[in-house]
Amino acid sequence: MPADPQSSEPLGAKGAQPPAPRATKADIGVIGGSGFYEFLTDAEEVEVTTPFGEPSENVLVGEVAGKRVAFLPRHGRDHRFPAHMVPYRANLWALRSVGVRRILAPSAVGSLTPSYGPGTLVVPDQLVDRTRNRVQTFYDTSAVHVAFADPYCPNGRAQAIAVARQAGWVPAGSGTLVVIDGPRFSTRAESQWYAAQGWTLIGMTGHPEAVLARELALCYTPLALVTDLDAGLEEGEGVTQAEVFAVFGKNMARLRELVAKIVEGLPAEREDDPCAHALDGIDLPIELP
């Protein structure tokens, strides 16, 4: 029997644990760096087993601005998963299993344009997949084709941009994020080619995260913090890992505060969100949690 993607009650999945108790349920998920462990109050770890293996860590469920929020560090607590090894399917499935229907996804990105310098917050509206070996679907049998022309939640993006402006950020309200496998950074030639296509940001984790969220009818909103100018934009040695970590760490406290304010303003209802209806009319080969 096909799953109801809009149902708030978990339907279960073969190989998955029983639904989490109400006390450990959350409506909003945050996928980010380990610095967000300080983000939640009265937090409790929830162990979730999925049909797609173990998530990066146990899901941490607590409160932010009076709302139930689940946090999952995409690279693991100790950053043991490089971008190409992150268990993306397990992570998204685990979040939906604890009730999450909206996701905020802060991440570090490089800039392909001088107008988006380090420290710029971008809420991209488009995505280009340049990865090669990442599994990007939950549906290995049957025909499940989700619309992905606009890869991010329009209502979530609008909320994030408005709140960022109120909080004193000068957010870029559009941009195209090209996602590469990594773990290496781009060559100058690659970087210049990406920029020549009109793409503005480059990262390693935004895909397949976004499409997997869409396949679970989740609202996914990226918050891209520029940490560096990519290799093709400047002379010198090019971007380094130390540079990326330093800029992201410098902005972590401010980014946490911003995410909390966005969480506070997110509406409980999703009836007007197209993401919530992504699976309408599709017969799914598996039941969703």
Q: What are the C-alpha distances in Å from 230 to residues 185, 192, 237, 239, 251?
A: 8, 9, 11, 6, 19
Residue with tokens 């998204």: 92
Strand 41-46 to 59-64 pairing = antiparallel
Structure tokens at 21: 């108790």
CA atoms of 270 and 94, how far apart (whole Å): 20
Among left, alpha and beta (phi > 0; psi -120 to 50; other), residue 15 is left
Residue in 78, 228, 280, 283 annotated catalytic: 228
Strand partners, 73: 32
Q: Is 273 an annotated catalytic residue?
A: no
How many helices (DSSP H) and strands (DSSP E) are in the chain?
Answer: 6, 10
| 126 CB-near residues (< 8 Å, 6+ apart) | 150, 151, 174, 175, 176, 177
User: Alpha helix locations (H) across the chain?
Assistant: 88-97, 154-166, 188-196, 206-215, 241-250, 252-265
Residue in 27, 230, 273, 283 annotated catalytic: 230
CA atoms of 199 and 197, how far apart (whole Å): 6
Q: Is 125 an annotated catalytic residue?
A: no
DSSP secondary structure of 64-130: ETTEEEEEEETTTTTT-S-GGG--HHHHHHHHHHTT--EEEEEEEEEESSTTS-TT-EE---EEEE-
Catalytic residues: 228, 230
